[in-house]
Amino acid sequence: MQEGEQIIDLYTWATPNGRKVSIMLEELGLDYRVFPIDITKGDQHEPKFMSLSPNNKIPAIVDHSTGVQMMESGAILMYLAHKTGKLMSSMGEGFWSEMEWLMFQVGHVGPMLGQTHHFVKFNPGKSPYAEERYRKENVRLYQVLENRLQDRNYIAKEYSIVDIATWPWISRYEFQQMNLNEFPRLKDWYLRIADRPAVQRGYSVPKVLDVPIPD
Ligand SMILES: N[C@@H](CCC(=O)N[C@@H](CS)C(=O)NCC(=O)O)C(=O)O
């Protein structure tokens, strides 16, 4: 890599946290190269990857124009928004509502829906208690988003890193056995974002898969 090269290296896999960053890079039109980290085969435990992501999880980036290396999808979204001045408000009312809902995604939506995938989709029957607990939490979190979207088209004021962080988790509604028709405002929001060409391109990284569209 030449010094001053503008390219960003994205270490990722076809999961909600990975797709947040590929969608963001597509929205921003930044030049990036994809390095697939197959988490089903244990690539996330390789020492080379761990030097970028000490928590053994995708996604991670290296920005060759600044030398910045980062893990944690929420932090990466903020870094890219700050770098370009796009998809995040500057300090003020808009900024704080974006932070509020970004933290909600990172602290609740991701970890809880991830547990639904683990127990309900991939290990059914192993722990009825956990299946019930996370399915209930899944429904509750969809309702929080449904309520938030009653009087707005996006989770914060305008389309932002908050929508980009949250949308890939809702795109797994089938894994979660959720019917989006029971959450009409959330479904409209989901479809509004699914319609964006950058979202469709980012969704297919690193594997070509079509964005799920509910009936
Ligand atoms: N808080 C992290 C979570 C990242 C995460 O959980 N990544 C998952 C894929 S969505 C992963 O790499 N799993 C591999 C493993 O747990 O070994 C973020 O938001 O980036």
Q: What is the pLDDT of residue 208?
A: 86
- List pLDDT tens digits, range 64-96: 999 999 999 999 999 999 999 999 999 877 999
CA 7 to CA 12: how far, in whole Å? Answer: 16
Q: How far is the CA of 55 from the centre of ligand 1 (A)?
A: 8
Contact yes or no for 72/12 (Cβ under 8 A): no
Q: At what angle do helices 161-170 and 128-148 cross, to 10 degrees?
A: 140
Domains of the chain, CATH where assigned: 8-84 (3.40.30.10), 93-196 (1.20.1050.10)
Upper half-sphere CA count for residue 126 (Cβ side, 13 Å): 8
Q: How far is the CA of 120 from the centre of ligand 1 (A)?
A: 18
CA 157 to CA 169: how far, in whole Å? Answer: 20
Q: How far is the CA of 153 from the centre of ligand 1 (A)?
A: 28
Pocket test for ligand 1, best of 37, 58, 79 (most atoms within 8 A of CB): 58
> What does the block give as tokens for 194?
């699914």
Bond before 111 cis per omega within 30 degrees: no
CA 165 to CA 103: how far, in whole Å? Answer: 10
- List pLDDT tens digits, range 124-134: 999 999 999 99
Neighbours of 126 (CB within 10 A): 10
Q: How far is the CA of 135 from the centre of ligand 1 (A)?
A: 20
Q: What is the pLDDT of residue 91?
A: 82
- List pLDDT tens digits, range 163-206: 999 999 999 999 999 999 999 999 999 999 999 999 999 999 99
Q: What is the pLDDT of residue 1?
A: 57
Contact yes or no for 146/87 (Cβ under 8 A): no
Convert 183-204 into a string of H (helix), E (strand) and C (coil).
Answer: CHHHHHHHHHHHCCHHHHHHHC
Q: What is the mean pLDDT of residues 50-77?
A: 97
List the residue whose alpha carbon is closest to atom 5 of ligand 1: 57
- Within 8 A by CB and 6+ apart from 155, the residues are 101, 145, 148, 149, 162, 163, 166, 189
- Residue 10 DSSP SS3: strand
Pocket test for ligand 1, best of 17, 69, 115 (most atoms within 8 A of CB): 17
Q: Is the pTM of this model over 0.75?
A: yes
